[in-house]
């Protein structure tokens, strides 16, 4: 193996069903595509307020997808999450229950949450060997590089395993911002980066060459603007791989 080769990214596929039946169907679809990680967007689940049903879904995902890591995400509505009835207290309580269940390999929550809650959650992820992703989303624009680096510094202070940022690209130069920030912050934390929108497709295919550890493919349904099918994404990554 060439030690100078850039590590390949993990490919993650989202599941966004609202019912157990829909989630099961999306899990079967994901199994047929064989991604590295499956992200369950639990904010779409109609019974997300029932802890036992949430844990049961995670158990089912484990059975259907034995070779995939499971990422549990309960996205806040302010950063693109599906509206649901959970209070902030209930949301964090559910995150803690998921960590303790042993059925999630990663959890993702927003950087802009209360830092005391995030520290408590971080302690729980460490106890149960769950990878902790702190994320930032901007669906309107690509913020200045300095702001994104400040966010990364906060994620480092909160001892996150990964800092994820997803921003909207409105001009081509926005993707250069994503690439530069990804490379810069990779020296202090593992980044997961992408731009949304048409221009952003380039970042989904190529951010890994600047240090991004995970990229997202479209599942049976899309969970964000600009996602490609897993076939398109794999082809793009393979083509770029010959150049780096």
Q: Which residues are annotated as a binding site for 3-dehydroquinate?
A: 39-41, 75, 204, 223, 227
Residues designated as active site: 137, 164
Binding residues are 39-41, 75, 204, 223, 227
Q: CA quadruple 135, 150, 11, 118: dihedral positive or negative?
A: negative
Query: What contacts 24+ positions apart, CB below 8 Å, involve 45-51?
Result: 45/17, 45/18, 45/19, 46/18, 46/19, 47/20, 48/74, 48/84, 48/85, 48/86, 48/94, 49/84, 49/85, 49/86, 49/90, 51/94, 51/97
Cα distance from N-terminal residue to C-terminal residue, the chain: 14
Alpha-carbon dihedral 147, 151, 154, 158, rounded to 10 degrees:
180
Length of the chain: 244
- Tokens at 232, concatenated: 């398109």
Rounded distance, CA 210 to CA 181, Å? 9
The answer to whether residues 231 and 217 touch, using CB atoms and an 8 Å cutoff, is no
Q: Which of 238, 151, 142 is nearest to 199 (CA)?
A: 142
CB 10 within 8 A of CB 43: no
């Amino acid at each position: 193996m060439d030690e100078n080769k850039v590590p390949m990214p993990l490919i993650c596929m989202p599941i966004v069903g609202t019912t157990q039946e829909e989630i099961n169907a999306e899990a079967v679809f994901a199994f047929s595509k064989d991604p590295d990680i499956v992200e369950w967007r639990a904010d779409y689940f109609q019974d997300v307020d029932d802890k036992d049903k949430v844990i049961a879904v995670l158990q089912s995902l484990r059975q259907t997808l034995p070779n995939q890591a499971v990422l549990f995400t309960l996205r806040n509505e302010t950063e693109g999450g599906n509206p649901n009835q959970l209070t902030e207290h209930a949301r964090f309580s559910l995150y803690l229950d998921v960590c303790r269940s042993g059925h999630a390999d990663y959890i993702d929550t927003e950087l802009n949450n209360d830092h005391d809650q995030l520290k408590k959650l971080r302690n729980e992820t460490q106890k149960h060997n769950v990878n902790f992703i702190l994320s930032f989303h901007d669906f309107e624009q690509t913020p200045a590089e300095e702001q994104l680096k400040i966010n990364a510094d906060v994620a480092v202070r909160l001892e996150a395993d990964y800092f994820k940022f997803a921003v909207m690209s409105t001009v081509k130069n926005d993707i250069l911002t994503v690439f530069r920030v990804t490379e810069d912050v990779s020296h202090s934390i593992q980044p997961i980066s992408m731009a949304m929108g048409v221009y952003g497709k380039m970042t989904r295919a190529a951010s890994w060459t600047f240090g991004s550890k995970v990229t997202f493919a479209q599942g049976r349904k899309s969970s964000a603007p600009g996602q490609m099918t897993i076939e398109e994404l794999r082809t793009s990554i393979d083509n770029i791989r010959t150049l780096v």
